[in-house]
Structure 1
Amino acid sequence: MKRQGGFTLIELVVVIVILGILAVTAAPKFMNLQNDARKASLEGLKGSIQGAAGIVYGKSAIEGKESTATAKVDDIDVAYGYPVATSAALSAVVNGLEADWTCQDGADSGSIQCSFKNNTEWTKDKGCYVQYTPAKSVSEAASTTVVVTGSSCK
């Protein structure tokens, strides 16, 4: 008589236990994907704002308006060649800003913060936004930073 080959019950249980251990150790790595996607989107917005501000500065330099405190370049309000920190100015230079993002002026610093449009509860203290600060002098360029400190983005 031929002996039948196969796995014993103990072997199957051991394999299932090993697969379970691997799943438990790997699952937390994949649970954080939404937060990583939010942070990557903010980095993308930062790059868009920086690129647009650089293009506007180039146009300002061509027109000789990069050293004036207030001017207009292609109907965009600029300060020292860079867009001013208003929703209107940034929306004019960044495609899709109004459609996908919500921006609010930062009255205390003269900057503007933009976050996700569907994130209705974000505030400066929750820390999940891109902050654009316009140029304040000829020697100081505009800056864009990503702020990720609050629970709404982590």
Structure 2
Amino acid sequence: MAIEIERKFLVKSHDFKQESFQKKYIKQGFLNSAKERVVRVRIKDDQGFLTIKGPSNTSGTSRFEWEKEIPLNEAENLFELCEKGIIEKFRYLVEIDTHIFEVDEFLGENKGLLIAEVELNNENEIFAKPNWLGIEVTGIEKYYNSNLSKHPFVEWK
């Protein structure tokens, strides 16, 4: 059980790929996407996870998060119970100074969307911003994965 503190940004170029030290394939679905609690099942390469997130604070920067690794076959079976709209993406990890940026390159109906997140120790923590980082979208709900599953990027245009 922990409080997750992160900021979220659009990404304006693919330059992050040259700086990435790791790339993973992620598939995720939502068992519950209510504002009060999000329950997500995720497969990251060959590992399964179940995650519960609470509501965001006013700034959208902090929220409760609980995650547990589960057997891969159980994660695959839980996809049968998920709400409409499965998210698929590649996640790139990029180290900038003392922070790790997670950059998601979305696939499927969210193809073309690039979002970077950086986890922080506190909401006012200073961090270096790479040149490929675009505008901040922290707390803007349409960029939450649970919303992207229902209202994908392809429908925005």
The TM-score with structure 2 as length reference comes to 0.24
Structure number having the greater strand percentage: 2
Structure number having the greater helix percentage: 1
The TM-score with structure 1 as length reference comes to 0.25
